[in-house]
Chain A
Amino acid sequence: MARAISPRKKLMWTALAWGFGLLIFFPILWTFLTSFKAESTAISDPPVWFFFDWTVQNYHDVLERSNYPLALMNSIIIAVGSTLLGIVIAVPAAWAMAFVPGDRTKDVLLWMLSTKMLPAVGVLYPLVLIAKYFGVMDSRLLLVVVLMLINLPIIVWMLYTYFREIPGEILEASRMDGASLKNEILYVLTPMALPGIASTILLNVILAWNEAFWTILLTTVDAAPLTKFIASFSAPEGLFYAKLSAASIMAIAPILIMGWFSQKQLVRGLTFGAVK
């Protein structure tokens, strides 16, 4: 709109927006502040906001006296591992669907997306059974595979949409230039699609990191990622708010930062193109 807006109106909207924004963000902010309080301060009545003795003792406690480092490692391995595995399988599939479309390409794509709609409880017991049979219960391998499978539809979908934006003629030119299929994908497609691939990785690492069904039910101790680790704080004894806050901040901080960069990818990846 080319109309000038009165500065007063702009300030009003600003105040309103910031107000609601801070309201929505508040729980995260409060957790952040609480993580630096002593436990007694954390539950003080009235609650303290900024002016207290900031301490990092909670972070020390969580890091040293609990399984946090293991859980963190597990989260990283599971989230990154499942996503990268998914990428390796999805790139060829997305290439095929984007550049050699057939009559059934659309149906295959829709079918893949529909597998994501399968309620996890519908396959819960068989998966437990299979995991126990192969002796992979509570293993990172199991979770990498399972999370790869549940995110594969989204990875394929996102790569497909990014690949479609690449002009097909450039790939044809590479074929005329003598590039084999492997070379075409390696030297021409991948470099051109790198931003799209990066975005896909970003969003899916976030989704895998936050996955809280399989990571809780298929792990006990060894492979428990941060989702399960935090869940163990649900029935604790004694004062623990500050420690919970510290553990929470450490669990969510990396993803919050990644998330701030991935808003557009979120829309693209999770609405399956139904909204432009």
Chain B
Amino acid sequence: MATEHSKSAARIMIAPAVFLLLVWMLIPLCMTLYFSFADYRPMRGVFDAWIGFDNYVRFVSSSSFLSSVGTTLWMVGGILAITITGGILLALLLDQPMFGQGIVRILVIAPFFVMPTVSALVWKNMFFNVDNGLFSYFYKFFGMQPYDFLSQSPLLSIVIIVAWQWLPFATLIMLTAVQSLSSEQLEAAEIDGAPPLARFWYIILPHLSRAITVVILIQTIFLLSIFAEIFVTTNGAFGTRTLTYLVYQRVLESQNIGLGSAGGIVAVILANIIAIFLMRIVGKNIDN
């Protein structure tokens, strides 16, 4: 239903939201863009308004950039692997008939609602800590040398922490998708003599493919901006410096604004590429 009246009313109603988000998008982003073409190091009093693409070249060709991209890929990849496989398995499990399913769901969902700083510190101190952590205790119980997670496998440690936090999200999505699969398809397959593994591989998994894609895209976007967990555990040391963290350090720690801004723009471009894919899927759904 649309009359001129309602159409003009609609335009006014939508304006504040659009305006605010536009400003939020444009102004800081343009400023970052501006700085990325400048040499600006306030701590050293350096300011040269235009140095062309030097910052970009420096940023992208530095060894830290390459290693940060690698770190980011390993981190995001590792978390995705754990959460998606774990999510599918947990979803299949939760779909089975059992007692107290509601409570199990609550237990499984809980980690998602724990704030990142809390979960990082709890894992760092009470589980990973080589002297007093629970894992060390288990190692000693089995007569082995305790493993210093944070020093020896810092990347893995962070992957575990963040995967623990995001597993519920993946599980919930997968569970929603699993439950939307009509049981008739599975029953037909069973009657046709397909064993459980085949039923999983040929019917369940393809049905989940859409959900898996969505989880991958959404999680990737959020995982690219992992910050707090790194901040409170390793502060980016020992090979845990992701692209996001690298940019943060350049901007706020070493205060090389120009370089950091260039890095920020690079991060924005990369994130946009992923966002385009996600938006296409979302866009198709809005039409329904």
Cα(A144)–Cα(B50), bound, Å: 35
A273 adjacent to B172 (CB under 8 Å): no
| Chain B residues with CB below 8 A from A106, complex form | 283, 286-287
**A92 contacts B286, CB within 8 Å?**
no
Mask, A221-242, CB within 8 Å of B = 1, is 0000011101101100000010
User: 19 A-B contacts, Cβ less than 8 Å apart?
Assistant: A10-B98, A14-B98, A31-B118, A92-B16, A96-B9, A102-B2, A126-B28, A126-B29, A156-B17, A213-B227, A231-B117, A241-B132, A244-B121, A251-B115, A256-B113, A263-B105, A266-B169, A271-B214, A272-B285
Tally of A interface residues using CB under 8 Å: 101
Q: Does B93 contact A (CB under 8 A)?
A: yes
- Also in contact, A217 and B225, with CB within 8 A (given A153-B21, A271-B173): no
Of residues 55 through 106 on chain B, the ones whose CB sits less than 8 Å from some CB of chain A are 90, 93-94, 96-101, 103-106
Chain B residue numbers with a CB within 8 Å of A130 are 27-28
Complex contact B28–A1 (CB within 8 A)? no
Q: Which residues of B contact A256 (CB under 8 A)?
A: 110, 113-114
What is the bound-complex CA distance between A217 and B248, given in angstroms?
Answer: 10
Most chain A beta-carbon contacts within 10 A, residue among B17, B228, B283: B17
> In the bound complex, how far is the Cα of B228 from the Cα of A209, in angstroms?
14
B233 at the interface (CB under 8 A from A): yes
A47-B134 contact in complex given A227-B116, A274-B282, C-beta closer than 8 Å: yes
Interface presence of A135 (CB below 8 A): no
Binary flags per residue of B156-188, CB closer than 8 Å to A gives 1, else 0 = 000000001001110011001100100100010
With A27-B123, A259-B109 known to touch, is A10 a contact of B115 (CB < 8 Å)? no
Q: Which of A31, A46, A102, A270 contacts B7 (CB 8 A)?
A: A102
CB distance A275 to B107 under 8 Å? no
Number of B residues near A (Cβ < 8 Å) is 111
Selected contact of A275 from candidates B121, B173, B244, B260, CB within 8 Å: B173
Q: Which of A30, A93, A255 contacts B13 (CB 8 A)?
A: A93
Report which of A121, A252, A260, A271 forms a contact with B248, defined as CB distance below 8 A: A121
Report how far A92 CA is from B28 CA in the complex, Å: 26
Contact with B99, one of A14, A93, A212 (Cβ below 8 angstroms) = A14
Q: Is there a chain A Cβ closer than 8 Å to B141's Cβ?
A: yes
B110 near A213 (CB under 8 angstroms)? no
**CB <8 Å contact, B115 and A46:** no
Give bound CA distance, A255 to B187, whole Å: 40
Q: Are A241 and B27 in contact (CB under 8 A)?
A: no
